[in-house]
Chain A
Amino acid sequence: MSEVKKRAQLSRDKKAPLGPDLDLADFSRHGGEWAYDPDYQHFAPEERGHLLKAGIELTDEDHAGTFLQADTRVVHCQANRPGVEVLPITQALATHDWVAQHLWQLVQVDADKYTARTELDLDNGYFIRALPQVKVEQPVEACLYLRTDRFAQHVHNLVVVEPGAHLHIITGCTTHPGVRSGLHIGVSEFYVREGGHLTFTMVHNWAEDIHVRPRTGVLVEAGGTFVSNYILLRPVKTLQMYPTVTLAGEGAVASLNSIVIAHPGAQVDIGGRVILKAPHSRAEIVARTITTGGLSISRGHLIGLAPDIKAHLECRGLILAPTGQIIAIPELEGHVAGVDMSHEAAVGRIAAEEIEYLMARGLDEEEAVSTIVRGFLRVKIEGLPPGLEEEIENTIQETGKGL
């Protein structure tokens, strides 16, 4: 048994330090036997609409590549542009000798039971790579889909942006409209090589009884840029993630943006950590959280280990329901002289004077609240599919109703 497997075995029941503990025996490991679907013919209109809410368009047009995994089965996978590789991770391991050496480097296999189970009982995942100097404007679309009720999905993803390459990935993680409960564990390791640029937009569209445990590690080399956009607008039961980005080379940049709505009954614990190890590296974490009745914990952690780094953390929360709760936990650590680090955190409700100000311009109360919420959630995210932008707009309108 390999060393990694041994560590995983020892941690198969290890409780995670954050988030509600889950009994993995409550979930099934029997996913559906879904067939490969080269033309997206196996999706009912209702499913298509649901997938679109997670940013998934089910087309190979206008995408540099596509990957779709339903439960354990990869049902669609192809690269559409030269210089872009898209493969199931199991196939990538067989294709490239070096892939194995990139797994469990940025996320520890024994971090908790979720990482351990992913190693011990893998359901595939995606491998996406942009070759050196390949700059792709169109996004690669990846979808991790829970299509069977109570299923626990374990995936391990690897993204490599080679030197000078540019890549945008839109990942939509969602459930079949008929699925009510389940667990998604997604381990992701991203390597942004020298001068590379990765924009990773992740949209979650779950259901009321779904539990989600992403585990993400990112390494950015000199002159590289990593931009993460995370969007959670729909209900979920529990979600806990704390991606860690290491800026290892001079001038590396990380920008983590998140837009989260915690619905009644949800426990959402989302963080972001950036370790600035190299001089002149820069990081920004911007979190916008709204609760309409759920609990949202918004964490941010910046660690400055080198001089001449600059980092800023901004957590802002809006409580739109009496039972909602937001906890903002910003942390700054400066370990050497010459770091420039700051944070800004604010949690509250919409001020009545803001609503009345807009009402004096002729907006009724609902329109005024929607305008304020839309402004609050305005975080610049490039390249979203129009269908998803419409979905975001609809959600904002709904959020403004009845407040």
Chain B
Amino acid sequence: MLAIEDLWVNIDDKEVLKGIQLTVPLGETHILFGKNGSGKSSLLMTIMGFSRYQVKQGRILYKGEDITHLPTYARARLGLGLSFQRPPTIRGVKTADILMACAHGRISPQALAAAYDFTPFLEREINYGFSGGEIKRSELMQLLAQDPEMVLLDEPESGVDLENLQVVGEIIGRLLQKDRRRQHREKSGLIITHTGFIMDYVNADRGYIMFDGRLLCHGNPRDILQDIKNFGYEECSRCLR
């Protein structure tokens, strides 16, 4: 589904990704671990094509097509969808307007919101005055409306209170077709998480540790998370599993 080949990326003159090599096959969900500033969000933003992230070398392939230099909207239309960690507030633009734009008539924003107790937010300005949990729910509702095949989630559980964690987890499970057997899944995922909580709601197939712009370690995501808890990121980065 998604293949990244020797990807080197700068923000201004600073190297933030250094030779990333990554493949996410159809139906699989991969987890990215790493401490703050290691380059995890930069990787997702680069995959989505944000202008600040300048690709110096390498390629991003989506379903075999080179999307390295496609504009962001074209990637979204091809089937990539990103849940932002800290999305901007856009004054005056209602959440319902964005859901409508995401859905392209495929689904009614009202029906979607009603299913997840999100109706009161439809008339509110997008992200304006939202709590951490409300922001995450809003992001995930947009992805549900967008219905991407490659789901990119940047810390979907950060700032979410216990009450909302389950809802967030359920939406992510739906986005990634957790209830289907792997061979029947049509969606793939790449998820950044610090807590690993999200792994209770998705079928995480593979995990990585990112360190200083490089993917250093991969393996079973639960094992990796346990190692991080036991030994910390520094030690994990030395292990080079």
With a cutoff of 8 Å between Cβ atoms, the chain A residues found around residue B48 in the complex are 360
B77 to A375, Cβ gap below 8 A?
A: no
Give the interface segment out of A18-26, A91-99, A132-140, A348-356. Answer: A348-356
Size of the chain A interface, CB-CB below 8 angstroms: 24
Chain A residues near B142: list those with CB within 8 A: 361
| Chain B residues within 8 Å of A376, by CB | 91-92
A352-B51, A354-B88, A371-B101 given; A360·B93 CB < 8 A = no
Contacting B72 at CB < 8 Å: which of A316, A354, A356?
A356
Q: Which residues of B contact A360 (CB under 8 A)?
A: 48, 50, 72-73, 76, 81-82, 84
Q: Which 5 A-B pairs have the closest CB atoms?
A: A375-B92, A375-B93, A362-B76, A359-B72, A359-B73
User: Which of A352, A353, A358, A365 makes the CB contact (< 8 A) with B101?
Assistant: A358
| A374 interfacial contact with B, CB 8 Å | yes
Indicate whether A357 sits within 8 Å of B102 (C-beta atoms), given known contacts A371-B93, A375-B97. no
Residues of B near A388 (CB, < 8 A) are none
The residue in chain B whose Cβ has the minimal distance to the Cβ of A316 is: B91
Chain A residues within CB distance 8 Å of chain B: 316, 351-354, 356-365, 367-368, 371-372, 374-378
Bound state CA distance, A94 and B71, in angstroms?
68
B122 part of interface (Cβ distance < 8 Å): no
Residues of A within 8 A of B73 (CB): 359-360, 362-365, 368
The answer to whether residues A375 and B51 also contact, given A360-B72, A361-B142 and a CB cut-off of 8 A, is no
B51 and A356 form a contact (CB under 8 A)? yes
Is B15 on the interface with A (CB-CB < 8 A)?
no
Which residues of B are at the interface with A, using a C-beta cutoff of 8 A?
48, 50-51, 71-73, 76-77, 81-82, 84, 87-88, 90-94, 97-98, 101-102, 104, 125, 142, 146
Given contacts A375-B97, A375-B125, are A361 and B102 in contact (CB under 8 A)?
yes
Q: Are B77 and A358 in contact (CB under 8 A)?
A: no
**Interface SS of B by simple majority:** mixed
User: Could you tell me if B90 and A361 are in contact, using CB atoms closer than 8 angstroms?
Assistant: no
Chain B nearest Cβ from A314, distance in angstroms: 11
The CA-CA distance from A367 to B93 in the complex, in Å, is 13
| Nearest opposing residue in chain B for A357, CB measure | B88
**A-B contact sample (13 more), CB < 8 A, given A358-B90, A358-B101:** A353-B88, A354-B90, A357-B88, A359-B72, A360-B48, A360-B73, A361-B146, A362-B104, A372-B92, A374-B92, A374-B93, A376-B91, A376-B92
Q: Is the beta-carbon distance between B97 and A371 smaller than 8 angstroms?
A: yes
Complex interface: chain A residues within 8 A of B51 (CB): 352, 356
The docked-state distance in angstroms from the alpha carbon of A118 to that of B77 is 59
Residues of chain B within 8 A of A352, CB atoms compared: 51
- Bound-state CA distance A273–B140 (Å) is 44
Contacts of A357 in B (CB 8 A): 84, 87-88, 90
Q: With A352-B51, A371-B101 as known contacts, state yes or no: A361 contacts B76, CB within 8 Å.
A: yes
**Pairwise interchain contact B50-A375, C-beta atoms closer than 8 A:** no
Distance between Cα atoms of A285 and B48 in the complex (Å): 40
Q: List 18 A-B contacts (CB under 8 A).
A: A352-B51, A356-B50, A357-B88, A358-B98, A360-B72, A361-B101, A361-B102, A362-B73, A362-B102, A368-B73, A371-B101, A375-B91, A375-B93, A375-B97, A375-B125, A376-B91, A376-B92, A378-B92
Q: Are A372 and B101 touching (Cβ within 8 A)? A: no
Q: Which residues of A have CB within 8 Å of B97?
A: 371, 374-375
Considering the chains assembled together, what is the distance between the CA atoms of A356 and B146 in angstroms?
Answer: 16
CA–CA, A113 to B46, complex, Å? 61
- A250 nearest CB across to chain B (Å): 32
A363 touches B101 (CB 8 A): yes
Residue of A nearest to B86 (CB): A353
Closest to B74 in A: A364
Residue ID in chain A nearest B92 by CB atoms = A375
Task: Report the bound CA distance from A374 to B50 in whole Å.
Answer: 23
B125 contacts across to A, CB distance below 8 A: 375
A362–B146 touching, CB < 8 Å: yes
**A375 touching B94 by the CB < 8 A rule?**
yes
Closest Cβ–Cβ distance, residue B96 to chain A (whole Å): 11
Smallest CB separation, B203 vs chain A (Å): 25
Q: What's the Cα separation between A358 and B93 when bound, in Å? A: 11
